[in-house]
């Protein structure tokens, strides 16, 4: 159910960070039909996040609040990335980790080594300047801020912040 691009490829969304925001971003994109991979450095956190969202949607299905297609889209499109390297085929990677500048910078620099040159690397930060996070990147113009609002699947808005280049 992934949305094909003009070039025939399917966009893959990578998400780094399996907390509330990361889990919500995964739900949003997976339910919209995008293959979505979730990575977290904490053992089992990504799988637990997807399982929690699946259980939540199952409950909403049982209550008649959603249809089966939404749950099937999540279970068919959301998967765990065991290693950051598993995000190499992503078209966009959205970082949604705790607000720690050094960690975010490290992730951005590592992602820049892993993903294709045309992959967008985004941060969901709400308190750190995007240009501060991208300071160590070779190509900071491929990065942006994508500030989602909580709860992500219900708030149909995202703020997009470009980097100064």
- The structure's pTM equals 0.91
Q: Which of 52, 60, 105, 147 is catalytic?
A: 147
> For the segment 52-103, what is each residue's pLDDT rounded down to a tens digit?
999 999 999 999 999 999 999 999 999 999 999 999 999 999 999 999 999 9
Instruction: Examine the residue annotation and report whether 147 is marked as an active-site residue of this protein.
Output: yes
**Ordered domains of the chain (ranges, CATH):** 12-162 (3.40.50.720)
> For the segment 104-125, what is each residue's pLDDT rounded down to a tens digit?
999 999 999 999 999 999 999 8
What's residue 1's pLDDT?
42
Instruction: Using the CB atoms, write b or e for 63-87: b if 16+ within 10 Å.
Output: eeebeeebbebbeebbbbbeebebb
> For the segment 116-152, what is each residue's pLDDT rounded down to a tens digit?
999 999 999 878 999 999 998 999 999 999 999 988 9
């Amino acid at each position: 159910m992934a949305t094909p691009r003009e070039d025939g490829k399917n966009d893959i969304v990578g998400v780094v960070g399996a907390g509330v925001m990361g889990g919500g971003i995964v739900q949003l994109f997976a339910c919209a039909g995008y293959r979505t991979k979730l990575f977290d450095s904490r053992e089992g956190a990504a799988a637990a996040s997807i399982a929690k969202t699946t259980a939540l949607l199952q409950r909403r299905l049982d209550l008649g609040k959603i249809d089966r297609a939404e749950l099937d889209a999540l279970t068919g499109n959301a998967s765990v990335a065991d290693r950051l390297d598993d995000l190499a085929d992503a078209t966009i990677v959205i970082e949604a980790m705790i607000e720690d500048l050094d960690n975010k910078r490290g992730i951005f620099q590592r992602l820049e080594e892993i993903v294709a040159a045309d992959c967008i690397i985004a941060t969901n930060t709400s308190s750190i300047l995007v240009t501060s996070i991208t300071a160590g990147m070779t190509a900071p113009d491929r990065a942006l801020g994508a500030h989602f609002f909580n709860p992500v699947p219900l708030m149909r808005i995202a703020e997009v912040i470009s980097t100064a280049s």
